[in-house]
Structure 1
Amino acid sequence: MRRVTALIAAVAAIGGMTAGVTPASTSRSAPEGVGGRKLAWSSCHDTTTPALQCAMLEVPLNYAHPNGTKIKIKVNRLPATAPKDKRQGPILLNPGGPGDSGLWMPGYISGKIPHDVASTYDWIGFDPRGTNASAPHVTCDAHYFDGERPDYQVGQGTSKVWLEKAAKYAADCAAHWSRFLPHMTTVDNARDMDSIRRALGVQKINFYGGSWGTSLGSTYGQLFPSHVRRMVLDSIVGPTIDWYDHNILQDKEHQRRFDAFAAWTAKADSVYHLGTDAAAVEKKYLRVEAALRTDPVDAAPAPGKIGPAEFEDTFYGGGYNFLRWPRMATVLSAYLTKNDTRPLNIAYNRYTAPGADDGTFPAYNAVQCTENNWPRNWEFWKRDQAKVNASAPFYTYNNMWYNAACMFWPYQGDQAGRLKITGKGLPPVLLFQATEDAATPYPGAVAMHKALPGSKLVVQNGGSFHEILFHGNACLDDTFTAYLRDGSLPTGKGFIAKTCAPEPDPTPVYVTPSSSATKAGPALRATDPQAIHGTR
């Protein structure tokens, strides 16, 4: 899972197109609903997918008090077109985050599988509570991610500034959203999914979730096993690990992916001229970062400057999507060999530049900080993270400061908690995992497979995409399609039911900036074909 402002939407890792949704207006079809509130569908006015329909669903803020304060969830659907006797019901979709929008997913994912299967499902996207087009949209500090931010590296003397910044963010959230934040956990979102199910008027749903979406899906399955027909979890968060320890696993895996990038770049010295061994390339990366400390680059059209923090943010995404490597290597090569900062500016605006506010960062914190007892003592963090940084310096302090608000979060603890996942009463769940995934490391999939009796684990050995479906890998995608078609599961008898090969590394190419490249505004994370998402 990963950061919401910079990496919002799995459209990325899976390439994407805009959902183009607008708020629902006059209903153009009959309301639906059995045992719950009704959905009044209307056109989303989406020019790419004209059949897409939108609605707002009213749900309780606190499910313990269902008649109390209400909030609204934005939902959309691409209706099934197969004959009624062939239809298989709704499939709810979530890309992770926590908090990322799922409104782009019905049109995109349904277009990635054969029409005879896609047409049998109602494809359902939604914005998690408090985010995006759901109401209210929680914002704590609209300018939290504006550049130039303090240096992530503790050796640069910025720890006090970051601690103050994180504490203020937590305080701002509490000051404005004290009634809302305690009710943004994974359990709350899973209950919203069941409200969607009831509003759709069905007894069972299907589900696809990636990254944090695997926590959401497994939590839904634990709460409502009798309402699950089929479930697919892609790039899996372990069912028992706490979020602080999960971040440490990420730090180590991101270091491995950065080392892999450096080795790939070194093999392409004739293209990038950054050295012929990985260590030389990594030193060049640090050289650029050091230069940006004294001479940051103009971030326009994004606000502010690109300093070392923004530079790191631009690069860590290569751990989610190795198709970024040519652009990343070009950034270093252009800066060091041509004194050209345009590729850095373009990459920052394309991948990392902040949106109009703090995006889904409040939801990210509300889930992760509230669901575990985080360490509250900065001295502990400082000592513990220094140990991690000794072997994984690429990402450790970046990740630490991104999560630092959890030191101060006012709703922290086990009172909401993450459910114990047992899989009791669930049908067979199909699991997908790459062995080199940096955002949701491989041990999480192993643990989830053990926790869900009857589940089938499909492993991409050597793969590194975060969310591995829909990249054109037939071994993976055909397995997904067969399961959606008729429930067919891979037949391997071992712990791993099926193994698939990874995609080849990208071809080294110098990504020459176009004349108009720097004139475009900051890309919308959910519509950028190169964007990536994930659980941080």
Structure 2
Amino acid sequence: MRKLATVLVAAAALATVPAAASAAGALDWGECPPDSVDLGQECTTVSVPVDYANPAGDRISLAVSRIPAARPEVRRGVLLLVPGGPGNSGLDRPWKLGARLPQEVRDRYDIIGFDPRGVGRSNPVSCGLTSDDVRSLTQWPGPDGDISENVARAKRVADTCARNAGPLLRHISTRNEVHDLDQIRKALAQKKISYWAHSYGTAVGAYYATLYPGNTDRVLLDSTDELDPDVLWRKVLANQAIGVEDRFPDFAAWASRPDNPDRVADTPGAVRPLYLELAARLDRAPIGSFNGNTLREAVIRGMNADTGFPIIAKTMNAARTGGAPPQVPVPPESVLQNIAAVAGATICNDVAWPTSVQVYQRDVLRSRARHPMTAGMAANIPPCAFWPFPAGEPVRVSADGPSNILMVQSARDPATPLVGAQRTRRALGDRAVLVTVSTGGHGVYLQQGSVCGDRLVTAFLVTGQRPGGDVYCAR
């Protein structure tokens, strides 16, 4: 198709990643893009089909990176770092995460990163949304739970994506990223791959272990989504309301400490009702553009790590005093456009969504009643309700295959809560062991300071040994 070819030529010109042979050929490793930090990382590209139902048709190039094993004499293979999102770049993850990996892991693996299809330097897609639409991707209902404006925006985004994003958009999905992963495996000339998958990447990792079980070596799923195909991705999004409730007590304890310059209340028990009262007050009487959803958005975005707590507290204190909320850095609009297109395409192409507005309005009102902290956002209507492309067949995670999966999970994860990870653990059966750490936040290995959790994961990557059963790490 001429239009697709034009898009791919333009994207290749921007990529500045060395060319490579086809997925079955030898890779030509070279310098990475100039905006990468040179810590021994090298880059190449891997050619994959646009449409796996038509493998002889158009192709795209995936940007791939690596840091070779530090000790080739003890090298075991490759460790792919599967990024979250959907829509997150992974090309620079080897140098960003590689420095944090224990030496015994770096000794044994080539650390591999990649930009998923449609992302970053792998033929990036964009819907060309308006600045207002791309900078307000979280769908907050109105103060009374009404979703009329959300419905209009969801339809506008779906129509704009269908009109502007090009043919690749309909072939961006979790299943296709899984197939891309196997093409990368072939290009690396590996019979099996190990991988560390994070957040949304755990869907890619669990699906790969289901569709290509014989091609897996050591599988690490870090902060796992709930992957029941009968409720995907609606349940994943709805679970965030549970996750915020799980995580909020950590913030409340921090925000009520006497020595905290951003203290918001005298006791942990007073923080939650204060937050709800301030959000309701801003719903009734916004301070300019500072409304209840501005505060709610600060809570959602500040829960993933303790470093986000000051932003939440400063926003609450601004609401109380009538001041301005703190400014939060956001990525460039081009990055937001790319993330919006890929995230929307992935969740909409993966599985069919309800098309009835009434279904979403009902779910929003129910969610608001059960989880007032998120005010129905987690159940709101996405562009998928109006998506013009047919959805693919979701993957049902299977217990059939080798017992080589280690899951690691925070007890109070706001984005991928423990309840969802436990359900995926049950679906994987004896193939998986779950390590739960007594921390709050999103992302565990080398991110939460859990001595027990990090030790168990490192031992698994180095030796292949897992605990005899599910484990709870108290520290």
Which digits, 9 at most, give the CA deviation of each residue in 1:378-412, with x for residues without a partner?
Answer: 112112210110121222433344x5212111225
What secondary structure sits across from 1:40 in the alignment?
coil
Question: 2:296 pairs with 312, 320, 325, which one?
Answer: 312
Q: Evaluate the alpha carbon distance shift between residue 65 and residue 110 of structure 1 in structure 2; reply closer, same or farther with a 3 A threshold.
A: same
Question: 1:366 pairs with 333, 340, 345, which one?
Answer: 345
Percent identity among equivalent residues?
26
1:159 aligns with 2:147: yes
Question: 1:384 pairs with 353, 356, 363, which one?
Answer: 363
Q: Evaluate the alpha carbon distance shift between residue 146 and residue 484 of structure 1 in structure 2; reply closer, same or farther with a 3 A threshold.
A: closer
Alignment of 1:226-237 (within 5 A): 226-237=214-225
* Counterpart contact for 1:312–1:398, Cα < 8 Å: no
Per-residue deviation at 1:47?
Answer: 6.6
Whole-Å separation in 1 of the counterparts to 2:135 and 2:211: 42
Whole-Å separation in 2 of the counterparts to 1:335 and 1:165: 27
Larger relative contact order (Cα-Cα within 8 Å, sequence gap ≥ 6):
1
Whole-Å separation in 1 of the counterparts to 2:332 and 2:31: 31
Aligned position for 1:477 = 454
Aligned position for 1:246 = 236
Per-residue deviation at 1:234?
Answer: 0.7
Per-residue deviation at 1:426?
Answer: 2.7
Per-residue deviation at 1:144?
Answer: 4.7
Per-residue deviation at 1:289?
Answer: 3.6
Alignment of 1:436-515 (within 5 A): 436-452=412-428, 453-461=430-438, 463-471=439-447, 472-491=449-468, 493=469, 496=470, 498-501=471-474
2:406 maps to a residue whose letter is L
* Counterpart contact for 1:318–1:325, Cα < 8 Å: yes
* Counterpart contact for 1:233–1:430, Cα < 8 Å: yes
Alignment of 1:76-115 (within 5 A): 76-83=65-72, 85-115=73-103
Question: 1:52 pairs with 15, 32, 41, which one?
Answer: 41
Q: Evaluate the alpha carbon distance shift between residue 384 and residue 266 of structure 1 in structure 2; reply closer, same or farther with a 3 A threshold.
A: same
* Counterpart contact for 2:48–2:183, Cα < 8 Å: yes
Per-residue deviation at 1:280?
Answer: 4.8
What secondary structure sits across from 2:119 in the alignment?
coil
* Counterpart contact for 1:149–1:307, Cα < 8 Å: no
* Counterpart contact for 1:234–1:433, Cα < 8 Å: yes
* Counterpart contact for 2:51–2:171, Cα < 8 Å: yes
Question: 2:326 pairs with 345, 348, 353, which one?
Answer: 345
Question: 2:169 pairs with 166, 169, 181, which one?
Answer: 181
What secondary structure sits across from 1:112 in the alignment?
coil
Which digits, 9 at most, give the CA deviation of each residue in 1:113-158, with x for residues without a partner?
Answer: 3223212211111111111111143334152545689993323687
Whole-Å separation in 2 of the counterparts to 1:455 and 1:254: 26
* Counterpart contact for 1:197–1:205, Cα < 8 Å: yes
* Counterpart contact for 2:364–2:377, Cα < 8 Å: no
Whole-Å separation in 2 of the counterparts to 1:333 and 1:407: 37
1:286 maps to a residue whose letter is A
Which digits, 9 at most, give the CA deviation of each residue in 1:143-194, with x for residues without a partner?
Answer: 2545689993323687333211110110111123463233111110000011
Q: Evaluate the alpha carbon distance shift between residue 292 and residue 143 of structure 1 in structure 2; reply closer, same or farther with a 3 A threshold.
A: farther
1:408 maps to a residue whose letter is F
Aligned position for 1:62 = 51
1:286 aligns with 2:279: yes
Question: 2:251 pairs with 249, 254, 261, which one?
Answer: 261
- Structure 2 unmatched runs, 5+: 1-13
Q: Evaluate the alpha carbon distance shift between residue 132 and residue 387 of structure 1 in structure 2; reply closer, same or farther with a 3 A threshold.
A: same
What secondary structure sits across from 2:441 in the alignment?
coil
Which digits, 9 at most, give the CA deviation of each residue in 1:180-233, with x for residues without a partner?
Answer: 233111110000011111111111111110111111011111121111111100
Aligned length: 454
- 433-442 vs 198-207, which deviates more? 433-442
Q: Evaluate the alpha carbon distance shift between residue 142 and residue 102 of structure 1 in structure 2; reply closer, same or farther with a 3 A threshold.
A: farther
Structure 1 vs Structure 2 CA RMSD: 2.9
1:171 maps to a residue whose letter is D
Q: Evaluate the alpha carbon distance shift between residue 147 and residue 317 of structure 1 in structure 2; reply closer, same or farther with a 3 A threshold.
A: closer
* Counterpart contact for 2:226–2:421, Cα < 8 Å: yes
Aligned position for 2:64 = 75
Whole-Å separation in 2 of the counterparts to 1:101 and 1:51: 19
1:407 maps to a residue whose letter is A
Which digits, 9 at most, give the CA deviation of each residue in 1:69-92, with x for residues without a partner?
Answer: 111211111111213x31111111
Whole-Å separation in 2 of the counterparts to 1:271 and 1:375: 47
* Counterpart contact for 1:72–1:136, Cα < 8 Å: no
- Structure 1 unmatched runs, 5+: 1-21, 297-305, 503-536
Whole-Å separation in 2 of the counterparts to 1:237 and 1:151: 20
Q: Evaluate the alpha carbon distance shift between residue 37 and residue 409 of structure 1 in structure 2; reply closer, same or farther with a 3 A threshold.
A: farther
Per-residue deviation at 1:272?
Answer: 3.8
Per-residue deviation at 1:417?
Answer: 2.2
1:377 maps to a residue whose letter is S
What secondary structure sits across from 1:162 in the alignment?
helix
Q: Evaluate the alpha carbon distance shift between residue 51 and residue 396 of structure 1 in structure 2; reply closer, same or farther with a 3 A threshold.
A: same
Whole-Å separation in 2 of the counterparts to 1:274 and 1:410: 46
Per-residue deviation at 1:329?
Answer: 0.9
* Counterpart contact for 2:81–2:113, Cα < 8 Å: yes
Q: Evaluate the alpha carbon distance shift between residue 147 and residue 32 of structure 1 in structure 2; reply closer, same or farther with a 3 A threshold.
A: closer
Per-residue deviation at 1:314?
Answer: 2.7
What secondary structure sits across from 1:359 in the alignment?
helix
Aligned position for 1:15 = none
2:459 maps to a residue whose letter is A
What secondary structure sits across from 2:442 in the alignment?
coil
Aligned position for 1:323 = 307
* Counterpart contact for 1:228–1:427, Cα < 8 Å: no
1:409 aligns with 2:387: yes
